[in-house]
Amino acid sequence: MTAMSRPLLGTNAAGRASAFFSEEHDILRDQVRRFVEEEVKPHGDTWESQGFVPRPVLRRMGELGFFGIRYDEAYGGSAMDTLATAVLAEELGRSTYSGFAITALVHTDMASVHLYNAGSAAQRERWMPKVIAGEAICAVAVTEPDAGSDVKGIRTTARQTAGGWVLNGTKMFITNGVHADLYCVAAKSGPLDGGSKAVTMFLVEKGTPGFRVSRALDKHGWRSSDTAELVFEDCLVPHDAILGEEGRGFYAIMRNFQNERIVIGAMAIGEAQAALDLTLAYVKTRRAFGAPLWDKQAIRQRLAMRAAEVEAGRQLVYATAWRDAQGQDVTREVSMLKAYCGELVNAVMYDCLQFHGGMGFMRESTIERMSRDARVQAIGGGATEVMLEEVAKRI
Ligand SMILES: Cc1cc2nc3c(=O)[nH]c(=O)nc-3n(C[C@H](O)[C@H](O)[C@H](O)COP(=O)(O)OP(=O)(O)OC[C@H]3O[C@@H](n4cnc5c(N)ncnc54)[C@H](O)[C@@H]3O)c2cc1C
């Protein structure tokens, strides 16, 4: 049977029949949703105050299979497709605790993908079972104080010696940076002005001499996600700590960005939908001028338009994930959805906070936290302007 003639088995996040999804995706969505209701929402505020997600929670996600949905069964994964990733990201985004969501999603879809896609058999056999079980948590360290959008501009160096590679440099804004066990680190193994062919990825374990977390960073949002600055000072890693081939790191980063951006888009759609849901509930009960706010056409129509835009973004995410799963080149659509969803989630948060009135500005309201969390979605993983340049090259 061709994909086009598949029966409508699955449902999307809004409970509508969707040709993109199978029964297996539905089961995953239900499992993640149940986990979020029972094991995330009751504790999210505590994690926000302490600045990280406790390790037992991540291990529990491993036990439930959420960290292995794209990985080989041989390592304990379930070998599902890009749509399953979109389901996971969307449902974690719907939790309203995006700091928690990004902690898990960096591990599964932004960092461990480097190990899985480029790692040697020995590296994969050693680490993948622990990664999937949530026993070893991953971070990816590309950004530096002087190079973010411009990945080729990184200045961390990797010099080959008789005893291995020596890393020197500083990494900035690294998610899971404080608590991770395993870091996929980009460094220049070639000349600093050597462009894309000078970049190589390395696997660095926590505790390697010369590698330290120099500080935990204090953020505007995503407060339950730990974010660090990392320093490498004559950090010696073995010859076989290279991830993939020497000089291929830039291409690995660009390839993995495609998955990362689908994830950020799906997460943004989950967040936007959750914000709309809680705002609809609020405006239907909050009264002003003798009637619920919902009776004001201006409010109703704004929310209706935002609902339409969120639905459009959701369909773009699903269609792109589906095409990615078919092995098609989706660079154009991925860049579009990252730009679109990153901006949209912020516009939705602005309106939803507005319709909560003064309460929306209070720390005790969910929408206040959500609007802080959303801000970075237009910056991290490729700023909107950078994404639009990628789109512009392809239209
Ligand atoms: C909370 C958080 C978590 C992060 N986690 C990680 C992580 O785990 N690992 C990691 O490696 N990195 C991580 N990052 C880094 C993130 O990917 C970068 O911040 C992002 O790519 C932007 O880089 P920059 O901050 O250096 O901004 P810059 O590159 O200095 O750009 C600043 C601004 O200029 C504009 N701009 C940039 N380039 C262009 C252009 N070509 N045309 C027009 N405008 C442009 C954009 O508006 C951009 O926001 C994280 C960042 C944050 C804030």
pLDDT-based confidence at residue 10 (cuts at 50, 70, 90): confident
Ligand 1 midpoint to CA 310 (Å): 24
Integer Cα distance of 280 and 91 in angstroms: 19
Helix (H) or strand (E) holding 45, with range, is helix 44-50
Nearest CA to ligand 1 atom 39: 386
* Of 295, 288, 300, the residue nearest 358 (C-alpha): 288
Ligand 1 midpoint to CA 148 (Å): 5
Give the number of C-alpha atoms closer than 13 A to the C-alpha of residue 122, restricted to the C-beta side: 6
Asked if 57 and 121 count as a contact pair (C-beta separation under 8 A), the reply is no
pLDDT of residue 113: 98
Residue 98 in tokens: 């995006």
Model pTM score: 0.96
pLDDT higher than threshold 90 for residue 15: no
> Which atom in ligand 1 lies closest to the alpha carbon of residue 219?
1
* Of 154, 131, 132, 130, the residue nearest 142 (C-alpha): 154
Residue 85 in tokens: 């990733």
Using CA atoms in the order 302, 305, 306, 309, what is the torsion angle rounded to 10 degrees? -160
> Which atom in ligand 1 lies closest to the alpha carbon of residue 382?
21
Residue matched to tokens 């001028």:
289
47-65: average pLDDT: 98
pLDDT higher than threshold 60 for residue 3: no
> Which atom in ligand 1 lies closest to the alpha carbon of residue 222?
1
Tens-place pLDDT, residues 238-272: 999 999 999 999 999 999 999 999 999 999 999 99
Phi, psi dihedrals of residue 83, rounded to the nearest 5°: -65, -35
pLDDT-based confidence at residue 9 (cuts at 50, 70, 90): low
pLDDT-based confidence at residue 4 (cuts at 50, 70, 90): very low
Nearest CA to ligand 1 atom 26: 148
Tens-place pLDDT, residues 93-145: 999 999 999 999 999 999 999 999 999 999 999 999 999 999 999 999 999 99
Tens-place pLDDT, residues 212-247: 999 999 999 999 999 999 999 999 999 999 999 999
Residues contacting 247, CB < 8 A, separation 6+: 189, 190, 197, 198, 199, 200
